[in-house]
Structure 1
Amino acid sequence: MGNVASIYEYGSVQAVKRNLAAGSVVVTWNTGGQQYTLTDDGAGNLTGDGSGTISYSKGLIFINPNPAPAPSDGDYTIEYEDWQGTNKVSDSISLNTSAGADSSYAPSAAMREGSVEITLSVTRKTKEWRYLASSGKADRTEYTTEQVVVTDDGAGNLRRQKGGPILGTVNYATGAISLNGRQSYTYKVYQEDSRLNGGTFWDSGTDTATEAYSGTSATIEWTDPADPVAVQSTTRPIPGLTIDLTPTSSRNIVPNSVIFEINGTEYRDQDGAIVKDWSPITDTGTAVGSIDYSNGLVTLEDYPANTPTSTPVTLIACLTTLDQAPANRSIFRTAGAPLREGSLIVNATDIEGNQVTLTADTSGNLTGANIKSGFVDTQTGLVVIEWGDGTLGTMPPVVPSTVRYSAVSYTYLPLDADLVGLDATRLPSDGRVPQFNLGDVVVVSNTQSTQIQTATAGQVVDFGRVNQAEVWVEGANGNRLAPAQYTLDTDAGTLAFADPLSLVDAEANAVTEPLTVYNRVEDMGLATDVQIGGQISLNIPLSQDYTAGDTIASAAVLYGDLRARAYNAFHQKSWSGTWSDDLIGDSTTAKYNLVSNPIEVTNQGAIKERWAIRFTSSTSFEVIGESVGVVATGNISTDLAPTNAATGAPYFTIRSAGWGSGWVSGNTLRFNTDGGQAPFWVARTIVAGRATEQEDQFASQNRGDAD
């Protein structure tokens, strides 16, 4: 477009926060290997390589260096003389709050030129929302109260900023002051207008007003002319470059429409950021600053050094709009569905240029600033967002074109029957199948805990519910209290500690306090109705209420009657390691007397396994299991009872009285055992993705009735 924007401030404010002596300030900096200087002329102005102003009483220096350095050039060095404040005076001024009226002050005390500082508070409008009369809504106005400081310029004039309008005068000889510290200002206005084809839109503009005092008094400080002066030196970092892209327009800038150039370097905006070296392939660049869309101000932290302040900014593209048509509500559907829970992120820019970020939780609720409510249906991908508060109050609406989202959606691929081991033809496309089926035995359980800081003998713990299926007491060190140390009354739902009480586990190990008492209640029934949404109906009513969020529904696998046994015993002259349930080769001359001394098993120790007792000499042998390997060695003169480490009971027992004579190395007694529980496989499926837990575990439980 060829328009030219203006670089209106390079140096910004350099605050040394001391009262400065007039004519003492010198500012130096380096760029391009050369030093440049600005010097105080004693009248509040900086001259030399650029320009600037000084507020002596506030210790503020405003600089516009030429050529201007970049932040990478280092720091500004500031040398000055300051008043030590040993003869500083404070007082209060009564303010005349009538519109346009001056306030007077007459202390009859001399004041040092440039040392007067008056602090007061003013109230301004920040935004005004003007509704159509037909809407029935009252206009709304937002106000802000700010503290401002009025200082003298060393020439008897009182101003809020150097070069600003004169708000009063001061007589340095007598201290007499006349002041009206209020100024006119501009504020934002949003006007609701009607569309020709129905509906409304919002037009943004500005209006002017005059400040009002927010109090009835102000604080004044000044320095006695005799106050001593000291020489000081300090450094300040070089700030970023500020550019006004729209110095002659009050319209808002449309996000992602700005391209401008400085000294051959092209910059553009991306959602509130300013980037250079933009790539059309990746649509990204190097972030070097930011932009405020509401006022057109750009701040660059990285820009060409040694650039004169008169260097023009070539505005290549900048789209502004009179009627922003901001959105109070956004409704859209994501490109893919269903979505992974908690994966949706929505970004937008409001009409004041603020960046808004919303995130979804696992329930689909959207949270973040600038939002009244929001929800995403993860199954359909439908998103509904209420951006404002319905009355356009403290939550500005957003620019619709800036609303963007990111989310993770699921895509279902056909399963390979050879890979999964079953025919997937009849499986649904999303792979979801019922976890429970009609007629399954379902166990509904709930575990709660009660912490006991210090347990006492005879103490009774009331669970607040009855019919516990299991209760245990665990110490802070993880050991479980021995059952002998407490008595349960499941009908009453209570636990009573023993008297006397010993805090030990079943193996006499210490159990440390505090103690945690766990109690589990449960019901078991048949599933009479199962829905894909997770609803299950049982053939029996639940015996008590179960709390939501920590209640578990488990499927029970039924096996019928089970008991341990030893069977299929036979003798083999030599064993090659082949596990067969039939004799291979010749039998042995020596025999084990299975009639008089049968192999003994228990439900607690036996497992489903094929065993081989292989002789290593005429009297010694080793015990080998097909799955567990070599578990023991023995001889014919001693009873054999290898221990099952999981239960502490023997896998089986073979009596020494059953062994005959005539055994030779290599002879083998083969037999099988079944355990008191049916074996089962546990298949663990891990969904592809980043690990979210450092530890993972699961538990299974054997349940049954002894007859």
Structure 2
Amino acid sequence: MTITRADLKIFKPEVLGSNDDAGGQRTKNVVQSGDLNQLFKAISDMDHATSTVEIVKFYPALDTPGTETLLDGNIFISAPYSDPLVNLVIAESSLLTDAARMPDMVDILESSVRAGQLIRRGMIGLLAGQDSFPRAYLQSMYRYNDKDYWANVRLAQGQIICISVEYAGNENALYPRFEHFCEIKETVTGGQEGQVYFSPPIPYDTPDTSLVINGESGCTKLRYTSENAEIKYHGVTTLTAENTNSLLSVANTTTELLPKVRQIAVSTGNSITVDDSADVASAVILESISRSGNGGATYIYNVPDLMSGAYFDTYGIKTVEAATLYNASATVSITGTTVTTTYNRAIDTDQTVGIRYYSALRYSSYNSASAFPSVKKLVKGTVKATATFSDSNYGSIRLYEYSGGELRESNGRIMATIDYLTGVVNKNADSRGAFTVVYDGLVEDAVIADNSVSFPLSQPAPILDSFYVVVSTAADTLLSASSDSAGVVTGTSITGTIENGLVSLTFSQSVDLTTLRYDISETVTLNPPPELFGLNPLRLKNGGIVDIFTAWTPIVIEHTNVQVVSNPAPAQTYNVRVNARYVDITDSRGASLWTVDNQHYSHNSTTGVVTINSDFTGFVAPFVLTDSIGEEALVTDVQNGKLQLAAELTATYPVGAVVSSAQNLGDLQARVGPVRDMTAWGGDWNTDGAAATASMNVVDYPIEVSNNNAINEDWVLIFTSPTAFRCVGKGVGQIAIGDTLNDFAPVNPLTLQPYFIIRQQAFGAGWQQGEAVRFRSYASSKPAMLLRSVASGHSQITTDRAVLAFRGNES
């Protein structure tokens, strides 16, 4: 039988929607091409206001009554939504089964981040709602030469960890097994004092290290997390340049699974240095960010240059602090590069809020065990020193930094002085004998030119035309300049550029760089809470920012031309491209006029002529004729905005051509796998038993299936007598009882046709009670998942659609 376009269908699952029952087996309900809201519901005003994520399951299938084969069936998004606030991706995972429901699909998506290497077993017992544990538990044990060693563990801000309850045997009612994924709020290293803070809080009580469950203690465990590359995402983008070789330039190669809220934040009074002399050390200067209040009590700052590390952890130095009139009432929390300040009162718009912080763009940490870095100098007030005597009776003492670089004991004795410009320590003689001095500190650039300067912006998403800079000359004349949207800086005696976040300025006369200040606005990204979408961003790779193209994955590139068919009548002709791989006419509702017998139009692929054969009665004008050229290719490498192909494309495609990542479903054909008989079956779907005496004759009487009814399922026939048996599916459960005296054709309730047929002659004789026969049926379809996300905002687009394409080759 010849396979036509009509035989390729996309079927709906048992239940559509977002409830826990959504998903399930393939039905005979076809997704009608051109009809809106067939898989997803319409986007509501509330969806646009709050943002939303929806997941649907569907079944691309070869729907014929026989067992024809569709070679390398594949699906891809051939046209994205026009609305930039709406995004669509295909999620591919081998874990998706026909029986999967919404909780299973959520688990698959959240499997991107998993519990990994064990850090510590026998954690302290935690209470539900607790968000910290003692630093003393941040240690990991290892064994070397039959001896146990404990090493302090360092966790960084924003790092994802897993706190779990694990044990063998039956589940304890008071302490159920669970895995809790959380984010470290402050960089911390294991030690004797202090706490490790994480978010969100623990959801259940956990057992203390000494509590025994099923003969096992130490059931509360701390683990690192690892990323799972098993799940892939397929999306769509466009060419940004005409293809000339095997390297394609595209608009994007990543997308956001979870919509994020973006706001404009103004950063004012930014400085780059406080000293322009190589022979003078400077004291600590904190960078600042300020803004007007908005009537709320909580304010969020994105600070990509915020410093962190062992220096601050060891000496208990805060890397950021509130810097406003109300800072005494403010609490500050840090997650990665996001700083949140919360006040005990609302801050009005006529008042200012802000923070001060150590900037990694200005300072870096230094330890005297390393060579002193060139063109750097120590920062006054940051030196933390320790003196260790050769005579162990005196041990080690803490030294304190005083004016002039003096390093003193707590009693005021000057033990040494430090040269801020070279990092050299000059020791004074001491009656206790020889000693060594080690220290930590912060360093900064030693020299900065006066007639030009380059510095990186601390804002990851700057709005270039908001950049404004001022600086004073040696004669106290104020110079100023601003940037346009292209990053070209012009002004009074100042020229320069902003490229890739780097500001380069040239001054017509010498300036005092200590006076340089700049203002700039940036786009700040906020992550909505996980309960809004039902997906935990801590369980998604990169918080939900995923690749939509992957190396060694096929892509499809297409370009479509569109023309209007006016007043259709028989014998009218239109011309399309002679190399078009797809030609169709659709009405205003998106319904296709294609038929197997060319009732409404016919297409000559050799000449490119489309002939109208009817007046399109029953369809709604206006009518659109589309023709597409395209081809498949293999991606071997993915770069930012670039796709490297295994070979050059055969045709040239213009800017705006659609580039889609394709999910290869493989060959689609209903079939039956190996049939095995066994003396007994104990319910283990992963193991076969010993062969039975009797056996089925599937060589002369093979089990019969059809493309339009077979499902992907493991089956077992369990004999209840020498002639009777019951049939059980791994996913669908028991579906029927049968006997060896008649043909066995259990009906699929979703199609009202048999799942498969076993002819009576295949059974033979000699079966015994308890014996079993196992086999697997394969459908001419595979389940797939779509994710649609709607970002917060409002759009002028009232009717919008994306196009999902399903293709393959005849065998």
TM-score of the aligned structures, taking structure 1 as reference length:
0.36
Structure showing greater radius of gyration is 1
Q: Return the TM-score normalized by structure 2.
A: 0.32
